[in-house]
Amino acid sequence: MRRVELGQTGVFVSELCFGTLTLGPFQKNLPLSKGVALLEAAFMRGVNFLDTAELYQTYPYVREALKSCPGYVVATKCYAYDAKGAEHSFRKAVEGIGREYIDIFLLHEQESAHTIRGHYEAIEYFLKKKEQGLIGAVGISTHFIAAARAIAQYPELTVLHPLINLTGIGIADGTREDMVSACAAAYDKGAGIYTMKALGGGHLIGRREEALRYAFSLPFVSAVAVGMQSLAEVEYACAFVSGESVDAYLPGLSSQRRGLFIDPWCEGCGECVPACKGGALSISNGKALVDHNKCVRCGYCVARCPDFHVRVL
């Protein structure tokens, strides 16, 4: 599998990035050994890049996988906005994955220049770690065009992890074309870009090949993060990206659209609703209600429910 430099970061990554959200408690909740086996299988097929986050609770999988696959480039994210929070998140990451050095540290779920400014003390902390040689690159992840546009004002943020896909589902504040133009501008300013939600959180499974072809064809993209939760999915994605025939793996792929599940014990407190910037959640008849046409299974709302009444299946 081809490896390319992520922008001008000096970090070389495989075009396919293993999105680990799918392994952990917000999605498939695989036993540790099974999740690690998938990361190992991808590594054997040439994937050297994985994406995790403090939110996903997938550090244990990463930690185990790094023992047998030390060459993985690790990108993680957190919500810290001040130095204290950033230090906590940095420590949690290095202890969680068992490595002193984090290749890429991102501010999770940025929305605009305003939210980036609001997190700047945390950014300064991570930039200091970069100067000390403990972080490779600092950047942001986002579902928002406004944040992708804003990164041009912050040349010290050298990695952008935006949501973009064939139909634009999940982009919070505009169209696919708007996001493409924001990303292209960021790329021109030197940002390294790896994207998320190529399959729209499951919405585009029926158009899998077309959707993946679109995601990998974008000229400003170094890598595409794909969440995988079975060996068939790993083999399919690796074969696809390597330009090999995928026919042998098709029967093993699930064609079922996965979705968000709100259990009947939901008390309708509304805590989860603002977590969904795509407007997929509301309260109706005293319970949370999901609009499946808008949900991209990002899991952000899952973390907000104090009683675990919302899950991604």
Asked if 261 touches ligand SF4 (CB under 6 A), the answer is no
Q: State which of residues 121, 271, 289, 303 lies at the interface with ligand SF4 (CB under 6 A).
A: 271
119 vs 311, beta carbon nearer ligand SF4: 311
Strands (E) in 126-266, as ranges, are 135-142, 159-162, 192-195, 223-227, 260-262
Separation of alpha carbons 260 and 202, rounded Å: 11
The correct pick among 41, 185, 275, 303 for binding ligand SF4 (CB under 6 A) is 275
- Among the candidate windows 123-131, 158-166, 220-228, 265-273, which touches ligand SF4 by CB under 6 A? 265-273
102 binding ligand SF4? (CB under 6 A)? no
Regarding 269 and contact with ligand SF4 (CB under 6 A), the answer is yes
| Total Cβ atoms within 10 A of residue 84 | 12
Nearer to ligand SF4, 55 or 123 (CB): 55
Q: Using the rule CB under 6 A, is 192 a contact of ligand SF4?
A: no
Contact 228, 242 (CB under 8 A): no
Residue partners of 117: CB distance under 8 A and separation at least 6: none
Q: Is there binding between residue 280 and ligand SF4 (CB under 6 A)?
A: yes
Binding flag, residue 204, ligand SF4 (CB under 6 A): no
* 142, 148 Cβ separation under 8 angstroms: yes
Cα distance between residue 50 and residue 34, in whole Å: 16
Q: Under the criterion CB under 6 A, does residue 278 sit at the interface with ligand SF4?
A: yes
C-beta of residue 258 within 8 angstroms of C-beta of residue 297:
yes
Report the interface residues with ligand SF4, using CB under 6 A.
Answer: 260, 262, 266-272, 275-276, 278, 280-281, 288, 290, 295-301, 304-305, 307, 309-310, 312
